[in-house]
């Protein structure tokens, strides 16, 4: 009998889940996961159970976009109740860990007044004993340092919380990930596979390297009632073959948001991978099918969910040579190490790059540059802009870097010189601190303080200063969250009067008036650069 060979369809969405919630980076480190369970998930579920209709109307209100509201039209309350109970019983130790973080903070605020912290170790709540060092800053403000590596090796890191949900997609609409847990549905297959499993790499290879259907069925081990649905996610039709770049210059392609592929002979780099699946749409875009077989370097700028997206990273893990990340390791609750969390979910090739450090490659280099702001003035070190020198060009990917203190770039310019092309995010409104970091706080923040401390990128004045400083010839505004296929992680909808649009329009007009090339990227874009003479 002939073996039936099948490919994974290019419109199969694979959502990584943590206890039915979309797995983003704060759900992997035990301490941040514990805080998000008690302060985000349980609270949202409590609120939905007590007033589902309020959530339904809030989800319909564009002003509430990205708010803590479950998107099930006021229905499925019993399932949310069941998930809440399951979370409380199965994650007891994480609930206790979260409580311990609060108790430790309360104790330190009350007791640590500048004298030795040694007597306070016996008062560290039991779940955190041996996992923290108590510290002061130089002004006697007490805090604690988490021993992250040990926490990953403890009962607090449980891979059984991880699973993958497979479904077919035909349009851009998906509910916002931070607020809506993924419930079972007749169209979804949930695979109880932890993220570090090699089956994941095998599964995503079947997108372009077909496998026997029998093997797919056996390895994914779904129930009989789901076999037909699983079969509908596979096809006999091979994907469009990828056409590698064979020119002797440089090609870069914009895939949406902050995701850009840079290719030249012998090297490929992908920044902040966040990709669309392949389906019919009015908006042209590059998708997973437009990636090369191998990506030498994946470069991650910072730990926000629109820049480190497991959903994309897991799908391309088998293609990646090295994944370059900014360092952390500070042990601060708000700044979990990206290196550690990626290693935890099965990336074996993670490289931390420091500020002003470089990785050379044939005829070029990648340099990490400082990146200020956009993190609500929290002490978060894991953020990096990248300068790519290639073929006589220098491309600066500054992501959401906010040019709060232009003197920084004066120092950087002194070191690296001019830059030919700048890529800069200008989401200059930004969400308030509590939107992302609220669950980590153990004391209520004053509303005015919260509103003043935003996750905001550069405005016009800050952006033009960078352009002037580095004498850029090309300017691209990117990372604006405008592509509709990213709404599920971004929850942004601009009008023509939104400040990020007005400010970035002004930057583009100013650059064009000076005879430069400038554009706000949207959808897809390809630029070919010729190699400078002698390079
Ligand atoms: Fe960001
Ligand atoms: Fe961003």
What pLDDT was estimated at residue 528? 95
Neighbours of ion ligand 2 (CB under 5 A): 306, 400, 479
**How many angstroms does the Cα of residue 389 sit away from the middle of ligand 1?**
24
Contacts of 167 (CB under 8 A, 6+ apart): 12, 13, 15, 185, 187, 188, 189
**How many angstroms does the Cα of residue 264 sit away from the middle of ligand 1?**
28
**How many angstroms does the Cα of residue 423 sit away from the middle of ligand 1?**
14
From the CA of 426, the nearest ligand is: 2
**How many angstroms does the Cα of residue 187 sit away from the middle of ligand 1?**
33
**How many angstroms does the Cα of residue 348 sit away from the middle of ligand 1?**
25
DSSP-derived 3-state class of residue 273: coil
From the CA of 259, the nearest ligand is: 2
**How many angstroms does the Cα of residue 370 sit away from the middle of ligand 2?**
16
**How many angstroms does the Cα of residue 325 sit away from the middle of ligand 1?**
14
State phi, psi for 360 to the nearest 5 degrees: -85, 150
Helix ranges restricted to H, 282-363:
310-316, 338-344
Are 239 and 287 in contact, with CB atoms under 8 Å apart? no
What pLDDT was estimated at residue 177? 84
Q: Which CB contacts under 8 angstroms, 24+ apart, belong to 59-67?
A: 62/493, 65/176, 65/491, 65/492, 65/493, 66/176, 66/178, 66/179, 66/431, 66/435, 66/490, 66/491, 66/492, 67/179
| Nearest Cα residue to 330 out of 393, 375, 390 | 375
The helix-helix angle for 213-220 and 198-205 (nearest 10°) equals 150
Both tokens assigned to 528: 């070919």
Rounded-to-integer distance, Cα 204 and Cα 7, Å: 9
**How many angstroms does the Cα of residue 302 sit away from the middle of ligand 1?**
7
What pLDDT was estimated at residue 417? 98
Q: What is the pLDDT of residues 48-98, one digit of tens each?
A: 999 999 999 999 998 888 889 999 999 999 999 999 999 999 999 999 999
**How many angstroms does the Cα of residue 400 sit away from the middle of ligand 2?**
6
From the CA of 492, the nearest ligand is: 2
What Å distances lie between residue 184 and 50, 190, 200, 379, 489, CA to CA?
21, 8, 20, 38, 20
Mean pLDDT, the chain, integer: 96
Average pLDDT, consecutive stretches of 10 residues, N- to C-terminus, the chain (535 residues): 92 97 97 98 98 95 88 97 97 98 98 98 98 97 98 97 96 87 94 98 97 96 95 96 91 98 95 96 95 97 96 98 93 98 97 98 96 96 97 97 96 98 96 95 97 97 98 98 91 89 98 98 96 77
Both tokens assigned to 446: 């004053």
**How many angstroms does the Cα of residue 308 sit away from the middle of ligand 1?**
10
**How many angstroms does the Cα of residue 221 sit away from the middle of ligand 1?**
38
Are 389 and 431 in contact, with CB atoms under 8 Å apart? no
**How many angstroms does the Cα of residue 492 sit away from the middle of ligand 2?**
11
What pLDDT was estimated at residue 21? 97
**How many angstroms does the Cα of residue 216 sit away from the middle of ligand 2?**
36
**How many angstroms does the Cα of residue 515 sit away from the middle of ligand 1?**
30
**How many angstroms does the Cα of residue 400 sit away from the middle of ligand 1?**
5
Residue in the structure block whose two tokens are 């030795």:
116
Contacts of 409 (CB under 8 A, 6+ apart): 403, 465, 466, 469, 470
From the CA of 479, the nearest ligand is: 2
**How many angstroms does the Cα of residue 401 sit away from the middle of ligand 2?**
9
């Amino acid at each position: 009998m002939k073996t039936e060979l099948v490919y994974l369809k290019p419109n199969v969405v694979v959502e990584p889940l943590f206890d039915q919630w979309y797995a983003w980076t704060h759900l992997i480190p035990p301490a941040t996961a514990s805080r998000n369970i008690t302060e985000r998930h349980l609270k949202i579920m409590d609120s939905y159970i007590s007033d589902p209709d309020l959530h339904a109307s809030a989800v319909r209100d564009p002003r509430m976009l990205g708010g803590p509201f479950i998107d099930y039209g006021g229905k499925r309350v019993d399932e949310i109740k069941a998930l809440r109970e399951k979370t409380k019983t199965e994650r007891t130790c994480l609930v206790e860990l979260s409580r311990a973080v609060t108790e430790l903070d309360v104790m330190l605020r009350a007791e640590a007044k500048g004298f030795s912290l040694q007597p306070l170790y016996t008062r560290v709540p039991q779940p955190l004993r041996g996992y923290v060092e108590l510290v002061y800053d130089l002004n006697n403000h007490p805090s604690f340092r988490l021993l992250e590596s040990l926490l990953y090796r403890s009962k607090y890191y449980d891979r059984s919380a991880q699973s993958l949900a497979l479904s077919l997609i035909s349009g851009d609409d998906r509910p916002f990930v931070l607020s809506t847990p993924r419930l079972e549905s007749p169209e979804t297959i949930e695979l109880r596979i932890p993220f570090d499993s090699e089956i994941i790499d095998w599964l995503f290879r079947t997108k372009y390297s077909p496998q026997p259907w029998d093997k797919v069925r056996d390895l994914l081990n779904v129930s009989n009632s789901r076999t037909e649905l699983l079969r509908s996610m596979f096809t006999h039709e091979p994907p469009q073959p990828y056409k590698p770049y064979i020119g002797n210059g440089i090609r870069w392609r914009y895939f949406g948001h902050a995701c850009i592929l840079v290719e030249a002979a012998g090297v490929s780099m992908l920044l902040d991978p966040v990709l669309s699946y392949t389906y019919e749409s009015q908006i042209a875009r590059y998708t997973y099918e437009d990636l090369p077989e191998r990506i030498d370097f994946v470069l991650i700028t910072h730990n926000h969910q629109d820049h480190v997206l497991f959903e994309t990273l897991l799908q391309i893990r088998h293609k990646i040579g090295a994944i370059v990340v900014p360092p952390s390791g500070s042990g601060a609750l708000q700044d979990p190490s990206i290196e550690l969390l990626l290693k935890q979910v099965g990336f074996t090739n993670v490289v931390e790059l420091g500020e002003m450090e470089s990785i050379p490659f044939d005829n070029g280099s990648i340099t990490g540059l400082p990146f200020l702001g956009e993190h609500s003035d929290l002490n978060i070190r894991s953020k990096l802009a990248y300068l790519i020198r290639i073929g006589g060009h220098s491309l600066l990917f500054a992501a959401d870097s906010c040019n709060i203190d232009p003197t920084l770039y004066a120092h950087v310019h002194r070191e690296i010189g001019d830059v030919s092309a700048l890529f800069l995010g200008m989401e200059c409104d930004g969400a308030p601190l509590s939107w992302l970091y609220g669950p980590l706080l153990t004391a209520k923040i004053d509303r005015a303080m919260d509103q003043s401390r935003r996750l905001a990128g550069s405005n016009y004045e800050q952006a033009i200063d960078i352009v002037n400083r580095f004498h850029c010839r090309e300017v691209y505004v990117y990372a604006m969250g405008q592509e509709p296929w990213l709404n599920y992680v971004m929850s942004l909808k601009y009008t023509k009067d939104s400040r990020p649009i007005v400010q970035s329009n002004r930057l583009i007009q100013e650059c064009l008036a000076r005879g430069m090339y400038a554009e706000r990227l949207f959808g897809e874009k390809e630029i070919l650069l010729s190699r400078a003479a002698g390079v």
